[in-house]
Chains A and B, each alone.
Chain A
Amino acid sequence: MDGEYVDALVATAPDGIAFDDLHVAHNGDGYTFQTPDVDHSGIDEETLRTVAAESPYVRNWYFWHATAPQKADRWAFLRWLEGAEQRDVAERYDALADGVAATWGELHLRVTLSDGERTYSVRHRADADVGTSALDAHDDPLDAREIAKHDDDGGYRPLKTAPSLQTGWTFPELSASECVTTVDAFYPATIANWHREQEGELDVTHWRDTVDRQTGIYGVVSTWDRGDGYEHVNWVAEACCDDSQCLKRREWQYDEETDLDVDGGSGAFPCREPCSLVIAGARQWTKLEGETSQTYEFELTPSEKEQIEDIIDAVADGKADDIREADIYEGANRYRARFLRAKLFDDEGHLGGVETEE
């Protein structure tokens, strides 16, 4: 009946144990063993073993010190997942028997206790209520790398934290360390950065420092800043870092003193510096924004102007593919766009027949 957790408890008792409502010590009078349920003192080893074998507090102590990954951020993440800082052991074990769930980006995480052991599962949050048998089951955490590569339409996802994770899969039975590995494969470094933030140690690198660091083909981005404000960086953040585009919460700003004006988002895990996609976009915008504005003259009906706005909105919001084929009431409908092109473009593809001046 003694598990290895009992042996471990006996071996550790002389150093004293005080963890999650469990207090154990060893002194001249024997062992003391205290939990909210029991209070023993002066007991011998055999009694300690009997008491410990029955105690969820001992299993809990053993899990957190011998089973759970000990790296501080992974440990803290698993504690957060089961609400360890909000619930005492008794309450937590009751909850864990039914399963405790949490959301991490688009992941639905669940930890369940059975026979005193924690098991973890991971699936898409959109599949939270889907029967497990309807989902593709995986047991290798590294399968997450492949799942994360493509969205539900088969499109490549260059940004792991884009809100486009495919559905239809599950990791139904993972150990604690496998759970962490799986989450980190879907959303690399989010646990580490979340934990740094929790500890007040998130090392944010702001826009200005990030672009100043760039070299090679990206070196040009630092020239976009010409000491004339940071409106362009607002546009970048609005384009790339909005919750609709990335689930990280943007913590970087223009520089240490200058916050951007757009919302950083509400994600659980922080974004600590402009990512490679932002820098690649910024390189292109640096070039495009180097152009001087021109005045072009052509005429649009009010509805045509609104239609152009509709088309830009549909593309920017990723809605173009959702517009039904025959829904000619939508400005971004394909037939409507084709009509506009037929009417307004000349044979060279110039809008309003007006040549683009360089």
Chain B
Amino acid sequence: MDEALVIAAHGSHLNAESSTPTYDHADTIRATGAFGEVRESFWKEEPSFREALRTVDADEVYLVPLFISEGYFTEQVIPREFRLEDWDPELWESDGTSATNATLTAEDTDQTVHYCGPVGTHDSMSDVIVQRAESVTGDPDVGEGFGLAVVGHGTERNENSAKAIQYHADRIRERGRFDEVQSLFMDEDPEVDDVADYFESDDIVVVPLFIADGFHTQEDIPEDMGLTDDYRTGYDVPTTVEGHDIWYAGAVGTEPLMADVVLERAADAGADVSSAIEQVREETGGAKPATGD
């Protein structure tokens, strides 16, 4: 086959588990056989963004960033490091949460690269957030009597970071499934520290919009919310904080349905992967038709 999928993720010099969701979603997609090759690539690990394309045989590549927001990484770092000729962020025609895709040529390998917007701003990401709430509560119908907090990093270095969080919070709120939906942030108001203040519901599901579990999702956020004084001692799910039961979900990016979003991005760019999408949705529990949009 002459089409490949390359997933571009951040990775880490310090945290061995940072790459795990990337590998997991790549494996899920690989198993569908939708692409001749599926390749993971990383900013901080190997294969690096600089050298991933040369390890791929295909002449035509769908490049999907496993990043939450549009901005510095998706608009500058990834196109530069993959050496995508004539890249211009305008090609995505995005308002910050509506990236599409652009077809470019890689300067060092001459491969045709369909450069897709990040998973985090794709509409189907809303479904993954909801599914994450189902996973953590163990209730496929979770919603009534529950509040949902979508948590993001905030604006540090990237104004679109908050936009992606708000975008999905708004979409999920419009569906009317949860009694309340609120976006919260680590480094700006409304802050995740005050989660209990922003909800009336007794039960609150908290879903951090991060790709991998790590320092922020495993240490900062649980401590900030008062789930635990020391992340090393762990916490219960749910934990009662100021009279609310907090169901803390951990990074949304670890939800198996994320593989679907990667495929949706490639499909939007022209990849013929509709049966793979169906298969992945079925396997990862995302088969139910999306509602509200």
Contacts and interface: CB of A to CB of B under 8 A. Distances in A.
Interface of A: 69, 71, 74, 142, 145, 149-150, 156, 158-161, 184, 188-189, 191-193, 196, 203, 213, 215-216, 272-273, 275-277, 280
A164 to B, nearest CB: 13
Interface centre among B12, B44, B157 (most CB of A within 10 A): B44
Given A215-B76, A215-B77, A188 B46 contact: yes
Nearest to A191: B55
B57 A192 contact: no
Interface of B: 12-16, 19, 23, 27, 43-48, 50-52, 54-55, 57, 72, 76-77, 80, 108, 157
A216 B43 contact: no
A275 B14 contact: no
A192 B45 CA distance: 17
Contacts, number: 65
Contact of B108 (A145, A161, A188, A203): A203
A13 B16 CA distance: 53
Given A158-B12, A216-B157, A192 B72 contact: no
A273 B16 CA distance: 24
A184 B37 CA distance: 13
A196 B108 CA distance: 12
Contacts of A189: 46-48, 51-52, 54-55
Given A189-B54, A276-B43, A280-B13, 8 more contacts: A142-B27, A156-B14, A159-B46, A184-B55, A188-B46, A216-B157, A276-B13, A276-B48
A192 B55 contact: yes
Contacts of A158: 12-14, 44-45
A213 B14 contact: no
Contacts of B27: 142
B47 A188 contact: yes
A275 B48 CA distance: 8
Interface centre among A156, A193, A273 (most CB of B within 10 A): A156
23 contacts: A74-B57, A142-B23, A145-B23, A150-B16, A156-B14, A158-B14, A158-B44, A159-B46, A189-B51, A189-B55, A191-B55, A192-B54, A196-B54, A215-B72, A215-B76, A215-B80, A216-B72, A216-B76, A216-B157, A272-B51, A273-B50, A276-B13, A280-B13
A193 B51 contact: yes
A160 B46 contact: yes
Contacts of B16: 149-150, 156
A240 B130 CA distance: 45
Nearest to B49: A276
A188 B43 contact: no
Question: Nearest 8 pairs between A and B by C-beta?
Answer: A188-B47, A189-B51, A156-B16, A158-B13, A192-B54, A188-B46, A71-B57, A160-B46
Interface centre among A158, A213, A215 (most CB of B within 10 A): A158
Contacts of B15: 156
A69 B13 CA distance: 32
A272 B12 CA distance: 21
Contacts of B47: 188-189
A221 to B, nearest CB: 15
A7 to B, nearest CB: 24
B198 to A, nearest CB: 32
Contacts of B52: 188-189
Contacts of A74: 57
Contacts of B48: 188-189, 275-276
B147 to A, nearest CB: 35
Contacts of A215: 72, 76-77, 80
Contacts of A277: 13
Contacts of B13: 158, 276-277, 280
Contacts of A280: 13, 44
A188 B46 CA distance: 6
A275 B27 CA distance: 26
Contacts of B55: 184, 188-189, 191-192
A232 to B, nearest CB: 21
A276 B44 contact: yes
A285 to B, nearest CB: 15
A339 B169 CA distance: 58
Contacts of B51: 188-189, 192-193, 272
